[in-house]
A and B are shown apart, each in its own frame.
Chain A
Amino acid sequence: MFPVINWNLVSLEVLMSIILVGLTVLDIVLPKNTQKDWLGLLSFIALLGLIAFWLTQGALRGVTFSGMFVMDPLAWFFKAFFLVVMVFIFAMTREFFKSLGERRNEFYLLLWLALIGMCLIASSADFLMLFISIEVLTISLYVMTAYLKTDKLSIEAGMKYLILGSLAAGFFLYGISFLYGAAHSTHFGVIEYFCRTHAMSSMTLFALVLIFAAVSFKAAAVPFNLWVADVYQGAPTPVTALLSVGSKAAGFVVLMRLFFFVFNAWHPQWSLVLAILSAITMTYGNLIAMFQTNIKRLLGYSSVAHAGYLLMGLAAGTALGAAGINYYLLGYLFTNLAAFMVIVVFSMAAGSDAIADYAGLSRRSGILALGLLLALVSLAGIPPLAGFFGKFILLMAVIKSGYVWLALIAAANIVVSFYYYLMVARRVYVDPPAADAAPVVVAQGLRLLLIFAMAGIIAIGIFQGPFFNAALTAIK
């Protein structure tokens, strides 16, 4: 009658919930006028502890809570991914919200909730469960996006994100309802069996399109990418970083679980659609990114373009494509977070996100300039950095699946993207700084983390073997 619950499988989520409750109580108990950032410090330590714990749990396998919650290598990989992302985000938040006083405490709690939401997304094995996990992540992101209440851009970003996000949620539920009508269940296992035993009808195609559209909202891919630039620009920079890496990866773990496992039997029907969407997404992102003057908007459109590259792995629909997505996201994590760390430090010092103000950064702070250069070059995909090998695997995957035209479009796009990434690099290294420009000071902790990210970009690019193996085992 009552389901048997295997608590080992949900240990990470339970630990995180306990930490969340503990921090909430601490927030209430702590004296309001304390200057020390206790919550940020404790969150940081707790995260490092969780990562250490999670690395020992690599062999966890199984299903619990009546099949709602699945623990497999894919879930393990992405939970580790989200934990590492959060280490960077917390460090950025501590820097960014120095001036915010006590309001930053609630921000930390929202970050923890977003983390729990992302981890649950990685483990969802039922559409109902998936919907609630996605909403936990998305609603905390709505609040965090509008967090700078006195900043008009932040409010506008929060509003746009909320409206489009609700629309996406509506699409998602509508799609699920059609799928439920066909398969008589919301459980992934049952729907997977249904897909194997039934041909795709126009009803299930309709459901698939709606669900894909809704998840592409998280992944920032066409057709639900219109929020990207304004929200990236207006949101507090740590939130932008979380959106561009954490939320995107959450979108892709859902897409991978759905299209590689659940709808796998219908692969011939949807792979062409995904290939076309991938081509549109990357071309759109790259073309518009060329004309941006704000670095956060530039990275916003670049994030759309990267969603396009990642969709190639999905269109390929093979194990190589899936491993390519994992590997690419791993490189993207260090690359994009390095760029956003530079942006946080620079915008705190210079009070601007305009690309023109980055002129001569190399003479104001060597480490920031080097970090940004490495990130941009890796995003552009120049060997031997992480971005190059990730793109290489994805291109190989689509060519092997017979989409040579997609590989050609992607290659043309990569060449186009060199232009705008290297324009920023040229500003940083070649252009002279403004006359009144002072050196930018980087706090010790952030400097360490930035060096760690740069080491990650180089290591993933040069020592591909172990990282590619990790990406490959994650989909077994």
Chain B
Amino acid sequence: MSLFFFYFFAAILIAACLSVVLARHPLYNVLSLVVAIFALSCLFVLLEAYFVGMVLLLVYAGAVLVFFLFVVMCLNLNALPLMQPAQKQLQWFGALGGLMFAGTFLLAMKSFLAARAMGPSSIRGTIEAVGKILFTNYLLPFELTSLLLLVAVFGIVSLAQGALSTGKER
């Protein structure tokens, strides 16, 4: 049963990801990303990583992508041509790079599958289990994310400072 659901959501995920890259209209890109993330979080739930699945749904689909959607709608972007003329010369390099990457990736996946098929982790992905690990083994990295937030705050304050006043001068 879970195998059926795995293939079901995996198919949705791949279709949605393709649509993220291929859709012409920015609005459809963002909406497809929402679908992709929903499918991805379902896959996490199938792996019994409930916490990661929920966080993915709440943070990405719930907050980040809605924010994207606002930006896209505010900018009022129209459908774009799939490729700019200037990019056409580069597409062969892109295809070559992509093929090389895909080849290496396939090789890597082959040895990955040969190694062992991994089932769900022995630790259940509940909030309790994640919290326990986060505050014991991973205490230091967890605390260090506060530094990351601090950098972000300083960065925004210093770069956005006076942005409005320079706008007036123009």
Q: A residues engaging B (CB < 8 A)?
A: 1-3, 17, 20, 65-66, 68-69, 103, 106-107, 109-110, 113, 116-117, 120, 126, 128-129, 132-133, 135-136, 139-140, 142-143, 146-147, 149-150, 178, 181-182, 201-203, 205-207, 209
A197 to chain B, nearest CB (A): 14
Q: Does B141 contact A (CB under 8 A)?
A: yes
B167 to chain A, nearest CB (A): 12
**Inter-chain pairs besides A68-B140, A103-B161, A201-B115, 15 sampled, C-beta below 8 Å:** A2-B136, A65-B140, A66-B137, A66-B139, A68-B139, A69-B140, A110-B158, A128-B141, A132-B141, A132-B148, A133-B144, A136-B148, A139-B148, A149-B162, A203-B111
B110 to chain A, nearest CB (A): 7
Q: Does B18 contact A (CB under 8 A)?
A: no
Residues on the B chain within 8 Å of A109, using CB: 154
A3 touches B141 (CB 8 A): no
Residues on the B chain within 8 Å of A106, using CB: 154, 157-158, 161
- Of B4-12, B53-61, B100-108, the segment with at least 4 beta carbons within 8 Å of chain A is B100-108
B154 touches A113 (CB 8 A): yes
Q: Does B147 contact A (CB under 8 A)?
A: yes
A128 touches B138 (CB 8 A): yes
B107 touches A202 (CB 8 A): yes
Nearest-CB residue, chain B, relative to A143? B155
A209 to chain B, nearest CB (A): 8
A142 touches B108 (CB 8 A): no
B108 touches A203 (CB 8 A): yes
Q: Does B67 contact A (CB under 8 A)?
A: no
Q: Does B64 contact A (CB under 8 A)?
A: no
A103 vs B158: C-alpha distance in the bound complex, in angstroms? 7
Nearest-CB residue, chain B, relative to A187? B137
A149 touches B108 (CB 8 A): no
Residues on the B chain within 8 Å of A142, using CB: 155
Residues on the B chain within 8 Å of A201, using CB: 111, 115
Q: Does B112 contact A (CB under 8 A)?
A: yes
Residues on the A chain within 8 Å of B129, using CB: none
B154 touches A1 (CB 8 A): no
Residues on the A chain within 8 Å of B166, using CB: 149-150
Residues of B in contact (CB 8 Å), total 32
Known contacts A140-B151, A203-B111: A132-B158 contact under CB 8 Å: no
Residues on the A chain within 8 Å of B152, using CB: 139
Please report which residues of chain B, range 76-113, place their CB below 8 angstroms from some CB of chain A when the two chains form the complex: 104-105, 107-112
A178 to chain B, nearest CB (A): 6
A182 touches B115 (CB 8 A): yes
Nearest-CB residue, chain B, relative to A3? B136
Nearest-CB residue, chain B, relative to A146? B159
A149 vs B155: C-alpha distance in the bound complex, in angstroms? 12
A110 touches B111 (CB 8 A): no
Q: B residues engaging A (CB < 8 A)?
A: 104-105, 107-112, 115, 118, 136-141, 144-145, 147-148, 150-152, 154-155, 157-159, 161-163, 166
Residues on the A chain within 8 Å of B115, using CB: 182, 201, 203
Query: Can you report 7 residue pairs joining A to B where beta carbons are below 8 Å apart?
Result: A20-B150, A68-B137, A103-B161, A106-B154, A132-B144, A149-B162, A203-B112
Known contacts A109-B154, A139-B152: A181-B112 contact under CB 8 Å: yes
B141 touches A129 (CB 8 A): yes
Known contacts A109-B154, A135-B148, A142-B155: A129-B140 contact under CB 8 Å: yes
A206 touches B158 (CB 8 A): no
A165 to chain B, nearest CB (A): 13
A59 vs B73: C-alpha distance in the bound complex, in angstroms? 59
Nearest-CB residue, chain A, relative to B121? A184
A120 touches B148 (CB 8 A): no
B151 touches A3 (CB 8 A): no
A132 vs B151: C-alpha distance in the bound complex, in angstroms? 12
A136 touches B151 (CB 8 A): yes
Known contacts A68-B138, A129-B140: A206-B105 contact under CB 8 Å: yes
A52 vs B167: C-alpha distance in the bound complex, in angstroms? 47
Residues on the B chain within 8 Å of A202, using CB: 104, 107-108, 110-111
Known contacts A126-B141, A149-B159: A178-B148 contact under CB 8 Å: no
B104 touches A66 (CB 8 A): no
A249 vs B144: C-alpha distance in the bound complex, in angstroms? 21
Interface centre among A129, A146, A202, by most B CB within 10 Å? A202
Residues on the B chain within 8 Å of A178, using CB: 108, 112
A132 touches B139 (CB 8 A): no
B16 to chain A, nearest CB (A): 20
Specify which of A66, A69, A206 is in contact with B108 (CB 8 Å cutoff): A206
* Closest 10 pairs (CB-CB, A-B): A143-B155, A206-B108, A106-B158, A65-B140, A201-B111, A203-B111, A202-B107, A203-B108, A66-B137, A68-B140
Specify which of B112, B140, B158 is in contact with A107 (CB 8 Å cutoff): B158
Nearest-CB residue, chain B, relative to A135? B148
Known contacts A129-B140, A132-B141, A201-B115: A143-B158 contact under CB 8 Å: yes
A20 vs B146: C-alpha distance in the bound complex, in angstroms? 13
B43 to chain A, nearest CB (A): 15
